Chains A and B, each alone.
Chain A
């Protein structure tokens, strides 16, 4: 099925552990991004990429790293997990970086840091 695939769906980490959230899309979208969604806060942009080899920071980048070696994949790395990173993480992609196209979202990764 065409779309954005995120793995894992659920994850529990201990404080200080690192992990990578995976995101892959098969729509040949140039633009990909990571958001976190917290109660009462809405979706907040962590990092984004406008194409392979190009990434940039969003609103809340601290504690996260990204890379974009291929058009299809955009993994998000948590360097040293903290309880404040407990959240639901969504990967989104779009045909091009401009806002004239809607985003296609993955189903999310629910992360708990204890």
Chain B
């Protein structure tokens, strides 16, 4: 069955460092991969989308890579700030409306 794996354990990093979150998937051939941010008690907020034929996408301090051979996406936040603390969800989209979400990784940026 299709499976998305994100580090279920929290990731703690020092302010100013680069945070790297991992999204692995199996039994899936997604055409798109999306990343969302979710704060406690709030709905997810869309951050970035990357297509299967793109290796890397950037938006301000965010960078996403997509390796269809390794079946993995990496999500980087450079110069991290305490305000970046949140849970980050990856979502895979194979076809029409079929978006599947991972359980998310909680990031804590320590001042």
Contact = CB atoms under 8 A, between A and B. Distances in A.
Contacts of B97: 31, 33, 48, 50, 97-99
Nearest to B35: A102
A86 interface: no
A33 B100 CA distance: 13
Interface string A81-114: 0000000001010000111111111111000000
B101 interface: yes
Contacts of B102: 42
A51 B31 CA distance: 23
B50 to A, nearest CB: 11
Interface string A33-56: 101000011111100101000000
Contacts of A35: 101
Interface stretch (B9-17, B40-48, B67-75, B77-85): B40-48
A105 B32 contact: no
Contact of A105 (B44, B93, B95): B44
A90 B44 contact: yes
B34 interface: yes
| Residue from B41, B43, B101 with most neighbouring chain A CB atoms (10 Å) | B43
Interface in A3-54: 4, 31, 33, 35, 40-45, 48, 50
Given A92-B43, A99-B97, 18 more contacts: A33-B97, A42-B89, A42-B104, A45-B99, A48-B97, A50-B97, A98-B97, A99-B94, A99-B95, A99-B99, A100-B32, A101-B49, A102-B46, A103-B34, A104-B46, A106-B43, A107-B42, A107-B43
12 contacts: A4-B43, A35-B101, A41-B103, A42-B89, A48-B97, A99-B95, A99-B97, A99-B98, A102-B34, A103-B44, A103-B46, A105-B44
Interface of A: 4, 31, 33, 35, 40-45, 48, 50, 90, 92, 97-108
